[in-house]
Structure 1
Amino acid sequence: MRVVVVGAGPGGLCVAKGLHKSGVDVEVVEAQDGFRDVGLGRRINVNAAGHNALRACLADAHFEAYERTLHRQSDPGAYLYSPTRRLLSRNETPPSPGAVSGGTLRRVLADGLAGRVRFGRRVASIARYHTEMRITAGAALERSASYGAREASHA
């Protein structure tokens, strides 16, 4: 089976990594020309299910790199303040593994997929019955299935 994943964001890369680890022939196409750290300074909160999914699809060294960058909140509460900075409410939130840099997460997911991520490839069309996908460079990608990451529909 050959799968083409559209979008090299965290979701698409996680799917590709899991498929690749399971022995599936996978290729990722990404409209951007490469990974950019601009705008990736944001931290992504990872819940227990996400943490376990990353554990399942990442090699030990990559999972350890992800874990080293986790920011763990000492007080995992959600606070709501008034404009005058008066505390209006505080809610307990379930404990989570922490928050990770978006750029770091993208890099650890992409590592190990060398040669399988194709940058500058915007999807132009998908043939009927989804066996062929055309990218803007005019090339056709043969595949058994495809997966579109969340942002892929906006590309």
Structure 2
Amino acid sequence: MIRTAVAEDLDAIAALHREARATYYRDRLPEDAYDGPEELARTRAAWAAAVAEGRVLCAERDGVLAGVASSGERDGVMHLGQLHVDPAQWRRGVGSELHRACVDTWRARGVTAVRLDVYEHNTRAQAFYAAHGWEPDPDVPRSSSHLVLRLTLAPSAE
């Protein structure tokens, strides 16, 4: 089930985010950069703001948070800011279900292009996004240690 996040989800969202990020940053960045107290406080505050603005979708499996996604406009362009799946739920369709819900939301809002940044060493995420139609952004191919991808959406058929 996909639903809009509520404030009561914040602890579960922060825990899922922490675990997912640790899987691709571990052994590549200093632990404080993704799991230190300052970083955890910063990301929790960012999730709290996104939840309060209604920009977060949650995927549940058997009443437990299995995935989370947030998107919003930045510099006049829609961005998929985060899409994380509990590593215990990988390869079970949670990410695809969340992605489909994001695309449906964007189309309903008339969005025709979306960007995202994906960590250059996160090959699992890169393969996921490629399978869902994302391509390297020819205008902005990199942002620091991240690749910039773009998804072009056909207008809604409605």
TM, length-normalised to structure 1: 0.28
TM, length-normalised to structure 2: 0.28
Structure (1 or 2) with the greater helix fraction: 2
Greater relative contact order (Cα 8 A, min sep 6): structure 1 or 2? Answer: 1
